[in-house]
Chain A
């Protein structure tokens, strides 16, 4: 086994965060695809006994779990190149807050856009538009959420750019209308090799959402 191994699933936005961070740092690693729609590998079960989920980063045999924790670990274990978190404690706190927001609010609400139907979905849509506007406000006229440099919040949110099409199509609205700066930011992120190589094509994600909807019993 190589020194750095990433247990992942091709479409996982959480796994993609880790791939982006590793690429930004220029770290060589072995990518191992987990079949999350089937049986989990013994290595995954051993490495993440609490959640049994991808992604898991295994560095010199030691597993790190939870994507944002993995990204922070990558930043701290390879500190000499491309810092993802700012040095200033207050700026770091802001970055941690917004990265956490992507999980607790953006992703949580986003998933309801395709998991739900009818009134519940309409309510989720309104909530999601509010969340987009908050991100729009936070981004402002900056190049990235991190400022001039691509950073922690950018890594946290970038994989979900592939999901915009699915959110829009399932819930019937335009993300560009609600948050044009975020959409422009998404395009800028896609110009980075680390992001372009990690993200799935929006059509593939839409296909995956279709598969998940069937499994989840949504139609």
Chain B
């Protein structure tokens, strides 16, 4: 049975979540059809296959949809056993999943907030990114990922795909916003990992050229500034810029979405 010819990905060219799935499929050596979706004018196909969120990416495997990029990655890894992305050990898996959650829940919104804010708000957002990168850097230097080339070990794994597809926005935002986000002196481990990751062939084939991303980012920024809207505008194709505020400790501890 040829499972490969039955794969179709609905995505968006500038969406890091789409890139995650594309990269994973490439790493597994899987052929797939790709359909570019308009994320503003949602297509009937997207509504049909992802009625809850109406978002890309959507992976169709034998016409059955799988949505949410991290869920899709795990589905791909479990369905096609070659070149595993997820560690075999349950604790190692839990660690990888935790940092995937961190990437989505803390890092991505902080990076998005840098892009969608200005002045004092932006300074606070940049500080937040640095705080988050510090936590990751610490784990890479002295913690769970110490001594590893990639988060997955010698080869790219789940966390590399999740963090890597999205980290290129750091360089883009640094240029467009004229801020310093990943300084090699402050974050040597992260910086080295990112350079290595971006050099991998499959990654180079997946991530759009930097000048296209720069053009895209400049366009969105221009649009946001000309609308002169509030600083909480979310940016399409990057994670929502809704960094959590300073909720009460008790509320946060019992009630936060990261429970």
Task: Tell me the A residues contacting B by CB distance below 8 Å.
Answer: 9, 11-14, 17, 34, 36-37, 49-55, 59, 62, 64-67, 69-70, 72-73, 76-77, 89-90, 92-93, 96-97, 100-101, 103-105, 107-108, 111, 115, 134, 208, 211-212, 215-216
**Does residue B256 face the partner (Cβ distance < 8 Å to A)?**
yes
- Whole-angstrom distance between the alpha carbons of A13 and B90 in the complex? 23
Task: Tell me the B residues contacting A by CB distance below 8 Å.
Answer: 52, 61, 64, 66-68, 71-72, 74-75, 78-79, 90-91, 93-94, 97-98, 101-102, 106, 135, 247-259
| A76 adjacent to B90 (CB under 8 Å) | yes
| A69 adjacent to B252 (CB under 8 Å) | no
Interface of B is mostly: helix
| B251 adjacent to A64 (CB under 8 Å) | no
A185 to chain B, nearest CB (A): 19
Residues in A whose Cβ lies below 8 Å from that of B93? 72-73, 76
A24 to chain B, nearest CB (A): 16
User: 29 A–B contact pairs at CB < 8 A?
Assistant: A9-B253, A11-B254, A13-B259, A37-B249, A50-B106, A52-B253, A53-B252, A53-B258, A54-B253, A55-B259, A64-B91, A69-B94, A72-B93, A72-B97, A89-B75, A90-B61, A90-B75, A92-B74, A92-B75, A97-B67, A97-B68, A103-B257, A104-B257, A107-B255, A107-B257, A108-B257, A208-B254, A212-B250, A216-B247
| A14 adjacent to B259 (CB under 8 Å) | yes
| A77 adjacent to B66 (CB under 8 Å) | no
| B250 adjacent to A89 (CB under 8 Å) | no
